[in-house]
């Protein structure tokens, strides 16, 4: 019989979800924050985003081509890294800065460790921290409406009062994508609703952070200080970090309990860095340190196999 039938091991059907599809949906979820960032900071923000995304894709394609690997930029992971990095940059940066950041994110953090899925820290955050340490001045110079101003978190740390409502809406100084809590929440809820991310990391991250902030307020004798809590939740990179950075598949735990532990750890670290650290911000460093602990967290949270330790029914 002349029939050319394909054989393979079961299962013979596959879900429609693909890597590119997932990356695409995260990019869509970042659109409210991206569009708001451009609206808030103007054309310069748009150009910074464009440069970062393009240089990330170009670096990835060039590296893979030169190494004789299959070029995988179609999986959109480099686009996503570029977008996340751009949203973590101040709107007023010289154009070489995002290019350098993209190089660090794609080449140093991602490709040198083996490419997609192999990096031990979030490429965009790794690059942000690299830039933050190397070019502290440029990375922390924030202007808003052409006036150099402090970010709300910095004002808060200096003991000044802040307008929680404008922090929620995002009409404040900050990096391109972090200012609008509401835009980030819309994107985060979209990711939760579509099942792209699991609730565990953001809920336990934000939850544990909120608990510690409230406890801190109590310890300082201010009672339950809701406006202080809100300012901390909506300020800085917390929303962006909790929904889009901490949930990065590659650099967060894969086990359900590990995700809870990871979320709590990030909440504690962010609290410590923001309240007791030298800088007003602490999300990026908290997540980076959390990333490094992921292998250990996974090791102690291996799920219990079905029926393990079951006893005979008599």
Q: Give the residues lining the site for another protein (CB under 8 A).
A: 1, 3-15, 17-19, 21-22, 72, 75, 77, 115-118, 198, 249-250, 252, 254-256, 259, 302-310, 312-314
Per the CB < 8 A criterion, the answer to whether 98 and 55 are in contact is yes
Q: Which is nearer to another protein, 116 or 289 (CB)?
A: 116
Peptide bond into 81 cis (omega under 30): no
Distance of closest approach, residue 49 Cβ to another protein, in angstroms = 23
In angstroms, the Cα distances linking 11 to 6, 8, 14, 306 are: 13, 8, 8, 21
Q: End-to-end CA distance of the chain, in Å?
A: 55
Give the closest residue to 244 by CA, choosing from 192, 179, 285: 192
Q: Which is nearer to another protein, 119 or 180 (CB)?
A: 119
Tell the residue number behind the tokens 């942000």, with chain if given: 128
Rg (CA), the chain: 21
Distance of closest approach, residue 111 Cβ to another protein, in angstroms = 12
Q: Which is nearer to another protein, 5 or 133 (CB)?
A: 5
Distance of closest approach, residue 11 Cβ to another protein, in angstroms = 3
Q: Which is nearer to another protein, 133 or 311 (CB)?
A: 311
Q: Cα 146 to the chain's mean position, in Å?
A: 28
As a dihedral over the C-alpha atoms of residue 249, residue 252, residue 256, residue 260, rounded to 10 degrees, the angle is -130
- As a whole number of angstroms, the distance between CA 165 and CA 182 comes to 10
Q: Which is nearer to another protein, 64 or 171 (CB)?
A: 64
* Count of beta carbons in the 10 Å neighbourhood of residue 234: 27
- Half-sphere exposure of 67 toward its Cβ, with a 13 Å CA cutoff? 15
Q: Which is nearer to another protein, 107 or 169 (CB)?
A: 107
Distance of closest approach, residue 110 Cβ to another protein, in angstroms = 11
Distance of closest approach, residue 15 Cβ to another protein, in angstroms = 5
Q: Which is nearer to another protein, 154 or 242 (CB)?
A: 242
Distance of closest approach, residue 311 Cβ to another protein, in angstroms = 9
Give the pair of three-digit tokens for residue 188: 């985060």
Distance of closest approach, residue 7 Cβ to another protein, in angstroms = 4
């Amino acid at each position: 019989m002349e029939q050319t039938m394909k054989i393979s091991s079961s299962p013979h059907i596959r879900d429609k979800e693909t890597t590119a599809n997932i990356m695409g949906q995260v990019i869509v979820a970042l659109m409210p924050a991206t569009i708001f960032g451009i609206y808030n900071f103007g054309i310069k923000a748009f150009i910074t985003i464009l440069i970062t995304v393009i240089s990330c894709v170009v670096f990835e394609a060039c590296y893979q081509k030169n190494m004789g690997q299959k070029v995988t930029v179609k999986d959109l992971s480099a686009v996503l890294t570029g977008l996340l990095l751009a949203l973590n940059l101040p709107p007023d940066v010289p154009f070489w800065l995002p290019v350098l950041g993209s190089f660090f994110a794609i080449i140093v953090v991602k490709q040198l460790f083996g490419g997609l899925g192999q990096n031990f820290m979030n490429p965009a955050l790794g690059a942000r921290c690299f830039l933050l340490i190397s070019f502290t001045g440029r990375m922390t110079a924030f202007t808003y409406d052409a006036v150099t101003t402090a970010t709300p978190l910095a004002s808060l740390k200096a003991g000044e009062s802040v307008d929680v409502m404008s922090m929620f809406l995002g009409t404040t100084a900050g990096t391109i994508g972090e200012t609008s809590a509401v835009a980030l929440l819309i994107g985060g809820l979209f990711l939760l609703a579509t099942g792209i991310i699991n609730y565990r990391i953001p809920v336990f991250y934000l939850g544990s952070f909120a608990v510690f902030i409230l406890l801190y307020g109590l310890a300082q004798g201010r009672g339950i200080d809701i406006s202080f809590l809100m300012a901390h939740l909506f300020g800085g990179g917390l929303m962006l970090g909790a929904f889009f950075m901490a949930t990065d598949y590659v650099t967060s735990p894969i086990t359900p309990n590990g995700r809870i532990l990871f979320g709590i750890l990030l909440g504690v670290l962010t609290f410590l860095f923001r309240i007791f650290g030298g800088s007003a911000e602490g999300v990026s460093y908290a997540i980076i340190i959390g990333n490094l602990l992921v292998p250990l967290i996974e090791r102690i949270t291996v799920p219990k196999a079905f029926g393990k330790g079951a006893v005979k029914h008599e």
